[in-house]
Amino acid sequence: MSDNPVARKGSLLQTAGAVAWSFFGVRRRADYANDVSKLNPVHVVIAGLVGAALFVIGLVFLVKWVVGSGVVAG
């Protein structure tokens, strides 16, 4: 394992995949250990914030679409 987190060389795709799996909440122990050893924690935090922002924006647009559709529940 690398002592310097900045020196870790995980790709953008690996980081995005790890963050996506963390949002889903399912991850194998071997994959988690691989992520910890290879991914830069700063990149993971940034990807997590971007992922959370996209999730919230998606929910806002979904709610606006449902409310604007005029469908009445019940």
Contacts (Cβ under 8 Å, ≥6 apart) of 38 = 8, 9, 10, 14
Q: 50: domain range?
A: 5-68
Is residue 16 included in any domain, yes or no? Answer: yes
Number of structural domains the chain divides into: 1
Is residue 52 included in any domain, yes or no? Answer: yes
pTM of the shown model:
0.71
Asked if 21 and 27 touch (Cβ cutoff 8 Å), the reply is yes
Is residue 44 included in any domain, yes or no? Answer: yes
Digitized pLDDT (tens) for each residue of the chain, 74 residues in all: 455 655 667 788 888 888 888 888 887 888 888 888 888 889 999 999 999 999 999 999 999 998 888 776 66
Q: Which residue bears the tokens 């987190």?
A: 5
Is residue 74 included in any domain, yes or no? Answer: no
Is residue 41 included in any domain, yes or no? Answer: yes
Is residue 73 included in any domain, yes or no? Answer: no
For residue 4, the model assigns a pLDDT of 62
